[in-house]
Amino acid sequence: MHLKVANLDRSLEFYCGVLGFELVQRFGDQAAFISAGGYHHHIGLNTWESKGGKPPPYGTTGLYHLAILYPDRPSLADALQRLLEADYPLDGASDHGVSEALYLSDPDQNGVELYRDRPQSEWPRSADGNPSMFTRPLDLRGLLVELKEPN
């Protein structure tokens, strides 16, 4: 994923400071590459055509959201805790049966989905055996319980 951003420092504060990605390489105020887990980069950020720019107006085409998959429920809970500690607003939080997701917007109003998949053995299924997704409110307090250490 490579995103056009208006302010590189502001975007790095969000993606690295709040979400916890690691800065891999930076080219002044023009571009940066960030990753999780030591990969060369998962997300590129640049100001080449967008420095100081504004988000596209509502009702136009473009990116709906980027989706970031977390490996497990405790990792998603950690992401939620980071957002809460940064007082960063959520746009929504949903249980889809097959996954749990947090929705927000980055500083340039790009949609961001932070989610974890449930094991397939836990997916709700229709009578014919196909996944039966739904959208229900996600229990955020229940998610945060994942952060508590076992007794």
Summarised one tens digit per residue, pLDDT across range 2-44 is 999 999 999 999 999 999 999 999 999 999 999 998 888 899 9
CATH number where 43 lies: 3.10.180.10
Contact 26, 9 (CB under 8 A): no
pLDDT tens-digit map of 37-72: 888 889 999 999 999 999 988 899 988 899 999 999
pLDDT in tens, 115-144: 999 999 999 999 999 999 999 999 999 999
Rounded to 5 degrees, what angle do the CA atoms 15, 65, 142 make?
A: 70
| DSSP calls for the chain | -EEE-S-HHHHHIIIIIIT--EEEEEETTTEEEEESTT-S-SEEEE-TTTTT--PPPTTS-S---EEEE-SSHHHHHHHHHHHHHTTPPPSEEEE-SSEEEEEEE-TT--EEEEEEEPPGGGS-B-TTS-B----EE--HHHHHGGGSPP-
- On whether residue 88 sits in a domain, the answer given is yes
- The Cα–Cα gap between 4 and 12 comes to 13
45 lies in the same domain as 70: no
Determine, yes or no, domain membership for 13: yes
Question: Are both 139 and 101 inside the same structural domain?
Answer: yes
- Specify whether 38 is located in the same domain as 73: no
Q: Is 33 contained in some domain?
A: yes
Report if residue 56 sits inside a domain. Answer: no
> What CATH number is given to the structural domain containing 103?
3.10.180
Residue range of the domain that includes 115: 63-151
Residue 58 lies in a domain: no
pLDDT tens sequence across 67-112: 999 999 999 999 999 999 999 999 999 999 999 999 999 999 999 9
pLDDT of residue 150: 59
What value does the CA radius of gyration of the chain take, rounded to a whole number of Å?
17
At residue 49, the pLDDT reads 93
Same domain, 39 and 74: no
Number of domains in the chain: 2
Question: Is residue 35 one of the residues assigned to a domain?
Answer: yes
